[in-house]
Amino acid sequence: MMPKAPILLMAPLVLFAHSLMPVPAKLQPGVGRLRIDQNFAFVQLTGYREPRLEAAAARLVEDVARKTGIPMRPGVGLHAPSAALIVYCDHAGTAVQSAQEDESYRLTVTAVGARLDAPNPLGVLRGMATFLQLVDLDSSGFGVPAVTIEDHPRFPWRGLMLDVARHWIPLADVKRTLDGMAAVKLNVFHWHLSENQGFRVESKLFPKLQELGSDGEYYTQDQVREVIAYARDRGIRVIPEFDLPGHATAWFVGYPELASGPGPYQIERQWGIFDPAMDPSREETYQFLDAFIGEMAALFPDEYFHIGGDEVNGKQWDANPRIQEYMRAQGIKSNEALQAYFTRRVQAIVAKHGKKMIGWDEVLTPDMPSSILVQSWRGPKALADAARQGVSGILSNGYYLDLGYSAAYHYAVDPLGEAAANLTPEQKQRVLGGEACMWSEFVTPELLDVRVWPRMAAIAERFWSPQNVTDVADMYRRLEAVSRDLEGLGLTHVFEYEKMLERLAGGSAAAPVRTLAAVVEPVKDYAREAAHPYDKFTPLNRLIDAARPDSETVRRFAALVDHMSAANMPQIRAYLTEWRDNQARLAPVLENSALLAEDEELSANLAAMAQAGLEALDRLQNGPPRDPAWIAEKRALLDRAKQPKAELLLSVEPAIRKLIESAQ
């Protein structure tokens, strides 16, 4: 019954408007549709079996039930004799998930059944994620369109780094994040566990790390094991990061002797780069790290261990005569060389405990063994340098989720782009993939999903799908679908956003706040820090905190302006009228909300721009040509209105500018 697909097409978006994200490597549309109703019997596991597969099958049944609202009959679900989705897994995976494991699968759906084949459990998990995304509703009911998919990832390393140290992220939020990651086929959860602002894991050998360095906000070792098992069930590796020798103030609260400067230390409450750094000149530092890394290497099964290594400013080393004397005695000429010396010592400790070391760009020095892995926050050039040196790397530069960039911006970044594009094929093999980074200066549990999702899904596609899958409009179309799917799985990026807007409205009608929020986006890069004093206790409850880097409203409006016609002018007018009139509707809300007061000018600018856009539209539809003075005045208005206010940009400005320029 299962036809072999004769010819497979690359990313056949035109033929078949599926909503898969990431786009599979090969997809061949079929004929017909597999119906899913309350009599649908799935899923039957065949071939190699293990508890992870049983759990995945049970989750799939539950997820399909939740997506469709169709309950499954007891006994008709798992192991049904007439299963409508038959899964064949050829063999077991590795005991500890590795970056080399095969994640490929083949999924065939016809009108009468579906079959998922994979060499090992990881492929089954990926194929099930695809099946769940394929479930949709049409005029005949819920079902899955007939299709043959042969799929495998482009990169073996597809990750998300989550900083749980600057702001604490509780266990439930971590698990929810893993649910989202699995849905878009990510496979590495990089857990940034220590920082100046907190040490987040229980150490039984050095309990003062968490007792004095965490405000009580840390994971017990049992909880760590729970997260690792939860992640493994979803085909996700867990890599811990303990940032050394800088970013380590929280360690020094309990163990000041590790630091290069005199104590005592307190948990850091500010954001930024700070002076405290471990003392590379004392053998006791390495003894401590040997014991500590040994303890953590036993707790975290992954073959990689991340030691950070970024942003040491060297001031404590400069100021410590004993360290200066040590450098002279050892012939170490610079702080960079001192850090390199420290990193080699730490690398040896990591290797002794059976792990491969990962570090940020700074750890790459000419004499590092090629077993290490470089995570580049600086850019593709560092990756290319590493690859030429025989060292593997992953890209994070361009994938920082905290910097307010759009999904399209991140989507355009390729781990094999820029400097890495010129590598030899062999060198390119050393670029293993990438990781998005969620640094948490501006992230609380409430904001986590709002910041990570749905943009993370677009980056996941970059890591998984063929390099030529680059259509931004189609990406956004599918991103809307995957965003709904993610909410269905329990992610809260829409829910929390709405609740934040309700809070901003303070009991007044939230609709005008929603209208304003839909056309603003955050300032980019590190402009937030520059605009406002922030620390750990600054409330993150302003419009800038809710603001999305991607606005569906602005995309729709810009598309109308880009393809302006008599037919779509009424829609353009409706948008502009709504924005012009929103000022009056928002006024009583602004008046009663201390949180919104700062956004008054933004709202006024939106109204003024919209009024100018309406004047331009009048001209285009039936008016006399606008004189140069009008244009000059409107340009000046737009130039003013595009300036950041309250850390926000009016993202609708370019489209309105285009409209106004076209009225000339």
Contacting residues toward a copy of itself, per CB under 8 A: 19, 37-38, 66-71, 73-74, 136-142, 215-216, 444, 446, 481, 484, 487-488, 494-495, 498-500, 502-503, 506-507, 536-541, 545, 591-595, 597
Nearest distance from C-beta of residue 269 to a copy of itself, angstroms: 9
Residue among 105, 84, 81, 101 nearest 92 (CA) = 101
The DSSP annotation for 557-602 comes to HHHHHHT--TTTHHHHHHHHHHHHHHHHHHHHHHHT-TTTGGGHHH
Which is closer to a copy of itself, CB of 213 or CB of 245? Answer: 213
Structure tokens at 530: 């520059």
Whether residue 186 contacts residue 461, with contact meaning beta carbons closer than 8 Å, is answered with: no
Which is closer to a copy of itself, CB of 412 or CB of 540? Answer: 540
The DSSP annotation for 221-237 comes to HHHHHHHHHHHHHTT-E
Nearest distance from C-beta of residue 69 to a copy of itself, angstroms: 3
Structure tokens at 38: 């309350």
Which is closer to a copy of itself, CB of 19 or CB of 371? Answer: 19
Nearest distance from C-beta of residue 140 to a copy of itself, angstroms: 6
Which is closer to a copy of itself, CB of 64 or CB of 277? Answer: 64
Provide CB contacts within 8 A for 229, sequence distance 6+.
Answer: none
Nearest distance from C-beta of residue 102 to a copy of itself, angstroms: 32
Which is closer to a copy of itself, CB of 118 or CB of 500? Answer: 500
Q: What is the largest CA-CA distance in the chain?
A: 84
Q: Tell me the catalytic residues.
A: 311
Nearest distance from C-beta of residue 213 to a copy of itself, angstroms: 12
- Strand-pair partners of 240: 191
Provide CB contacts within 8 A for 2, sequence distance 6+.
Answer: 108, 110, 113, 115
Nearest distance from C-beta of residue 440 to a copy of itself, angstroms: 13
Other beta carbons less than 10 A from residue 113's beta carbon: 17
**Alpha helices of 69-218 — where are they, by DSSP H?**
121-134, 171-183, 208-213
Structure tokens at 202: 């229980």
Residue among 346, 399, 352, 401 nearest 368 (CA) = 346
Label each residue of 461-482 as H, E or C.
HHHHCCCCCCCHHHHHHHHHHH
Q: Distance between CA atoms of 93 and 71, rounded to whole angstroms?
A: 32
Provide CB contacts within 8 A for 283, sequence distance 6+.
Answer: none
Which is closer to a copy of itself, CB of 122 or CB of 144? Answer: 144
Q: Distance between CA atoms of 137 and 165, rounded to whole angstroms?
A: 42
Nearest distance from C-beta of residue 489 to a copy of itself, angstroms: 11
Whether residue 411 contacts residue 459, with contact meaning beta carbons closer than 8 Å, is answered with: yes
Nearest distance from C-beta of residue 197 to a copy of itself, angstroms: 12
Nearest distance from C-beta of residue 66 to a copy of itself, angstroms: 7
Residue among 437, 401, 445, 495 nearest 173 (CA) = 445
Whether residue 500 contacts residue 546, with contact meaning beta carbons closer than 8 Å, is answered with: yes
Whether residue 370 contacts residue 301, with contact meaning beta carbons closer than 8 Å, is answered with: no
Which is closer to a copy of itself, CB of 434 or CB of 522? Answer: 522
Which is closer to a copy of itself, CB of 66 or CB of 204? Answer: 66
Which is closer to a copy of itself, CB of 50 or CB of 498? Answer: 498
Q: Distance between CA atoms of 199 and 429, rounded to whole angstroms?
A: 35
